[in-house]
Amino acid sequence: MTVAGTLAQWAAETPVIESAVALTRARQAVWDTVGCMVAGAGDEGTARVRATVAPWGTGPATVIGQRRKAPAPWAALANGMAAHVLDYDDNYHPASTHASAVLVPALLALGEEIGVSGARLLDAYVVGSEIQAAVAQGVNRIHYDSGWHGTSTVGAIGTAAACARLLGLDAESTANAISLGASMASGTKVQFGSMAKPYHAGMAAQNAVLAAGLAANGVTGRDNALEGRLGFRALYAGPRSPGWRNVLPGLGDPLYLEKYGLAPKLYPCCGSAHRTLDGLLDLKRRHRFGAGDVAAVETLVGFTNKRNLMYPDPQNEMEARFSMHYCVAVALLFGRLSLADFTPRAVGRSRVRRLLALTHMRGRPQKDENNDPAKRKPVLVTVKLKDGRVLKTQVRYARGTVFRPFDDGDLDDKFHDCVSGFLAPGAIAAAERALARLENLKSVRGLTRHLVFEAGADRGERFERRPRA
């Protein structure tokens, strides 16, 4: 059997997911991503995507940030952009993707269109996360390190399988959805720091809905689209990539979601900076130094982390999210990073820009990268103070991962930070109730009907107008 056929058989024929761990993590991921979508709906890039799809008709799916509904593919596109535009959405390390920014918008849009229950949506989310990870394991780290944006390549393929699961397609049709998803896989990391980067998440969500819909209506693709001579692996990773020989036998046992979980974000910036920020802020709390006491901050990060953080001198809020230098400066000054720190005015603050030169970032050799998130080398952080003290720490796992999980209430606090001022208080409370009992909702419309508002458009100024905690 081909790789797509094996993945499709598992996705289509696996009994309804009953793992309490996986389903809880899926529900938390939906909760977190909904908050990110509401917060991101007012971004000018998201608004431009909504304006683009507006003439293409109305439909049954909620577009967060406007009252007018749209066909499912266009809602998935706009909501995927909103989910990822602030770079506050979760990471999924076994796939090197922002899994939820693709899965949640696609499944909510398609789920509204066909009227599925919350339980079925969570089941499809778990299946899609498994296929994303399995596909990624066959091509990474070469695929990701070569500059492909896994969120939009691997994400489209795995989420096509999730949408096929939601539609109840059989194994043959699911294999076609995966094959079509492989043809739609695109997106390069040169776009980091631009509107095109979060567009990748929306594009992948849209493509996944289309791939499953096409397969449901009999459109076919090659069954060897992943491993064929001119297929996904050959073109996107090459013969030195690991392939799927050691991946397929263990599919679902355990689930990647059970073993590795997701990594919701504590800071609204590229995840490649998070371990350094965790270490820096921990040193700051323990040793009680301020920004004016620091002579230098040195950090040793992974090969890919350094490549992702490509803007030492960011010129706008999009670039700042991919700037270790900017994020460290903000952390030194304020002891935290907030949504209000990523606006044109915030990026131009003189007291922040004076600190950019304090940061010195080095990357490990590419050979040190590991495809197993549990075995990656730690980030090293060194703070040199003007009084001569040298403070050091190392951080292997970021806060939010299963190895250093959020405290109780962290996700709730983040959700409120994302939605406050945009949803009415009554809608916030109703959405939280729906999210807390998502597996019991007879229809996902019981959630999405509370997410309707007019977002407008700006470059983050809406967050500056809120008082800093």
Domain layout of the chain by residue ranges: 3-259, 271-395
What number is the average pLDDT over the span 444-449? Answer: 98
Band of residue 467 on the pLDDT scale cut at 50, 70, 90: low
What number is the average pLDDT over the span 177-189? Answer: 98
Q: What is the pLDDT of residue 408?
A: 67
Q: Give the Cα separation of 49 and 53 in Å (integer).
A: 6
Compute and round to an integer the Cα radius of gyration of the chain.
21
Kindly provide the b/e burial profile for residues 247-265, where b requires at least 16 CB atoms within 10 angstroms of the residue's own CB. Answer: bbeebbeebbbbebbbbbb
Residues contacting residue 412 through CB under 8 Å, at least 6 positions apart? 432
Beta bridge partners of 362: 300
Q: What is the mean pLDDT of the chain?
A: 97
Q: What is the pLDDT of residues 378-405, one digit of tens each?
A: 999 999 999 999 999 999 999 999 999 9
What number is the average pLDDT over the span 353-360? Answer: 98
Tell me which H or E stretch contains 352: helix 350-353
Tell me which H or E stretch contains 429: helix 425-436
What number is the average pLDDT over the span 193-217? Answer: 98
Q: What is the pLDDT of residue 406?
A: 87
Q: What is the pLDDT of residues 113-172, one digit of tens each?
A: 999 999 999 999 999 999 999 999 999 999 999 999 999 999 999 999 999 999 999 999
CB neighbours of residue 52 within 10 Å: 12
Look-up of token digits 């998440």: 201
Residue 39 has pLDDT above 90, yes or no: yes
What does CATH list as the number for 271-395? 3.30.1330.120
Q: Give the Cα separation of 372 and 36 in Å (integer).
A: 27
pTM of the model: 0.97
What number is the average pLDDT over the span 194-200? Answer: 98
CA distances from 132 to 67, 92, 151, 156, 257 (A): 32, 9, 9, 8, 11
Band of residue 19 on the pLDDT scale cut at 50, 70, 90: very high
Q: Which two tokens stand for residue 373?
A: 């998130």
Q: Which two tokens stand for residue 217?
A: 């209506």
pLDDT above 70 covers a percentage of the chain that reads 99
Return the CATH superfamily for domain 3-259: 2-methylcitrate dehydratase PrpD (1.10.4100.10)
pLDDT above 90 covers a percentage of the chain that reads 95
C-beta of residue 272 within 8 angstroms of C-beta of residue 308:
yes
Q: What is the pLDDT of residue 325?
A: 98
